[in-house]
Amino acid sequence: MGIKNNFIIKNTQGLYCPYGDFYLDPQLPVHTAIISHAHNDHAKPGHNQVFCTPPTALIMQLRYKKNAAQNFTTYNYKQVFKIKNVTITFFSAGHILGSAMVLMEYEGIKYLFTGDYKLQADSTCSPIEFTNAHVLITETTFAHPEVIHPNPIEEIKKLNNIKENIMIGAYALGKAQRINKLITEYCPTKKILVHHTILPLHLLYQKQNVDIGKFEPYNRKLMKNINNQYIYLVPPVTFKSYQKADNTIRMFASGWKNLQINQKNSLYISDHVDWCDILLTIEKVKPTLIYTIHGEGKNLQQHYKNKIDIKILDNAY
């Protein structure tokens, strides 16, 4: 049997597998969903049945409460299970806690859905683990030859040169915990204060025995003391609301240039693969067919012209 061209179909709910009657990271409530990770652009509430890793279920339940899903069925990495006639295995995606690539096998053909993933080292989540597949369904958020992510350790060390208090904007799930750990390891004189909306996720990580470093809840009085070199971790909404903060340097931790406040105090730290990482992933997975989603696939089409068949399944979620 060969590759099924309709194994994954894009419809109004999201990416649908008719052979298993399930969706991958659906954008609207569905009967059966496989959730790659708990970021809210991938993990929507209201599904009837969710298959995911245990940490992803815990995070969804924390965020969505009773609306998270009617039922959760969880599997650890490399545990094999079936949904109808499709065999499923989760492999670590290295993106955030619990993030998984989804290997689907049907009639001898392997289809690998990456979700969001990264290759850079990150001690706050399991490292990526590659597996071979005939078909690779990959995110292409930064799939451009000019995008090469800098070393996150060198980026975080920039904070040591700043003597004022610092407000760092970071996504509450995954990025905030990674930044917290990097600061603890490479900026030992800094003291980390955490916004109240990030704090529950910090505590969840700790309950999962993940060392995210030192921190304490935000205290307004502490931030007024410019001599203690505080770093205040805040979510994007809070960061935007503080356009002017006295005696405080504002920085946003992201791989996107448009989210950097200024070049002098930029903090380029991404939780996605860059151009070189995507090429290495393709080398490791060894697919004969690639579908691109969540980004731009034209550069990959040009790069692998006449070598690998690449189809753009979806430009963005």
pLDDT at 227: 66
pLDDT at 226: 63
What is the Cα gyration radius of the chain? 20
At residue 226, φ and ψ (nearest 5 deg) are -80, -5
Kindly give the residue spans of alpha helices, DSSP state H, lying in 158-288.
Answer: 175-186, 199-207, 220-223, 236-241, 275-285
Neighbours of 316 (CB within 10 A): 11
pLDDT at 118: 98
Q: Are 177 and 210 in contact (CB under 8 A)?
A: yes
pLDDT at 285: 98
**Low-confidence residues of the chain, pLDDT below 50?**
316-317
User: pLDDT digits over 226-266, tens only?
Assistant: 667 899 999 999 998 887 777 789 999 999 988 898 778 89
Q: Where are the domains of the chain?
A: 9-145+272-312, 152-268
Neighbours of 136 (CB within 10 A): 26
Q: Are 272 and 254 in contact (CB under 8 A)?
A: no
Q: Does domain 152-268 sit in CATH 3.40.50.10710?
A: yes
pLDDT at 313: 86
pLDDT at 139: 96
pTM to 2 decimal places? 0.95
pLDDT at 317: 39
**Domain 9-145+272-312, CATH number (from 3.30.1330.200, 3.40.50.300, 3.60.15.10, 3.30.360.10):** 3.60.15.10
pLDDT at 65: 97
